[in-house]
Amino acid sequence: MSEVRRYALGLEYDGSEFAGWQAQQGQRTVQAEIDKALGMVADQPVASVAAGRTDAGVHARGQVIHADVRCSRTPYQWLRGANSNLPDDVAVIWAREVDVDFHARYSATGRHYRYWVCERGPRVVLSRKRVAWSYSRLDVSRMQAAADSLLGEHDFSAFRGAGCQASTPVRDLRELQVKRFSPEWIAFDVTANAFLYHMVRNLVGTLLVVGQGDAGVGWPAEVLETRDRRRAGPTAPAQGLTLTGVDYPAHYGLPARGSPSGSLDAL
The verdict on 123 and 223 lying in the same domain is yes
The verdict on 134 and 192 lying in the same domain is yes
In a domain, 260, yes or no: no
Domain count for the chain, please give it.
Answer: 2
pLDDT at 119 over 70: yes
pLDDT at 78 over 90: yes
Model confidence band, residue 259 (pLDDT cutoffs 50, 70, 90): low
d(CA 187, CA 210): 15
In a domain, 191, yes or no: yes
Residue 59's domain comprises 5-107
d(CA 206, CA 216): 11
pLDDT at 2 over 80: no
In a domain, 201, yes or no: yes
CA 72, 91, 62, 32 torsion-angle sign: negative
Sorted by sequence, the CB contacts under 8 Å of residue 257 that are 6+ apart come out as 62, 112, 244, 245, 246, 247
Model confidence band, residue 267 (pLDDT cutoffs 50, 70, 90): very low
Model confidence band, residue 257 (pLDDT cutoffs 50, 70, 90): confident
Mean pLDDT of 196-213: 96
Model confidence, pTM: 0.94
The verdict on 94 and 117 lying in the same domain is no
Count of Cβ atoms closer than 10 Å to residue 160 Cβ: 21
Of 61, 91, 107, the one marking the end of a domain is: 107
The verdict on 60 and 140 lying in the same domain is no
Of 80, 107, 134, the one marking the end of a domain is: 107
The verdict on 136 and 22 lying in the same domain is no
pLDDT at 260 over 90: no
pLDDT at 86 over 90: yes
The verdict on 78 and 149 lying in the same domain is no
- Catalytic, 99? Answer no
Model confidence band, residue 212 (pLDDT cutoffs 50, 70, 90): very high
The verdict on 117 and 239 lying in the same domain is yes
The verdict on 30 and 16 lying in the same domain is yes
CATH code assigned at 55:
3.30.70.580
pLDDT of residue 262: 58
CATH code assigned at 134:
3.30.70.660
pLDDT at 72 over 70: yes
In a domain, 32, yes or no: yes
In a domain, 265, yes or no: no
The verdict on 13 and 92 lying in the same domain is yes
Q: Which amino acid makes up residue 24?
A: Q
Model confidence band, residue 237 (pLDDT cutoffs 50, 70, 90): very high
Mean pLDDT of 151-158: 97
pLDDT at 43 over 60: yes
Cross-strand pairs, 179: 187
pLDDT at 222 over 70: yes
Please, are residues 102 and 66 in contact by the beta-carbon 8 Å criterion?
Answer: yes
The verdict on 145 and 238 lying in the same domain is yes
In a domain, 261, yes or no: no
More confident: 263 or 37: 37
pLDDT of residue 171: 97
Cross-strand pairs, 180: 186
The verdict on 98 and 196 lying in the same domain is no
In a domain, 264, yes or no: no
Mean pLDDT of 123-145: 93
Model confidence band, residue 263 (pLDDT cutoffs 50, 70, 90): low
The verdict on 238 and 133 lying in the same domain is yes
Rg of the Cα atoms in the chain: 19
Model confidence band, residue 264 (pLDDT cutoffs 50, 70, 90): low
Q: Among 14, 35, 43, 55, which one carries the catalytic annotation?
A: 55
How much of the chain exceeds pLDDT 70, in percent?
96
pLDDT of residue 145: 98
pLDDT of residue 256: 81
Cross-strand pairs, 67: 7
In a domain, 62, yes or no: yes
pLDDT at 247 over 70: yes
Of 91, 107, 123, the one marking the end of a domain is: 107
DSSP character string of the chain: -PPPEEEEEEEEE-GGGSS-SS--TTS--HHHHHHHHHHHHHTS----EESS-PPTT-EEEEEEEEEEESS---HHHHHHHHHTTS-TTEEEEEEEEE-TT--TTTT--EEEEEEEEEE-SSPP-TTTTT-EEE-S---HHHHHHHHHTT-EEEE-GGGPPTT---S--EEEEEEEEEEE-SSSEEEEEEEES---TTHHHHHHHHHHHHHTTSS-TTHHHHHHHHT-GGGS-PPPPGGGEEEEEEE--GGG-PPPPPPP-SSGGG-
d(CA 155, CA 153): 7
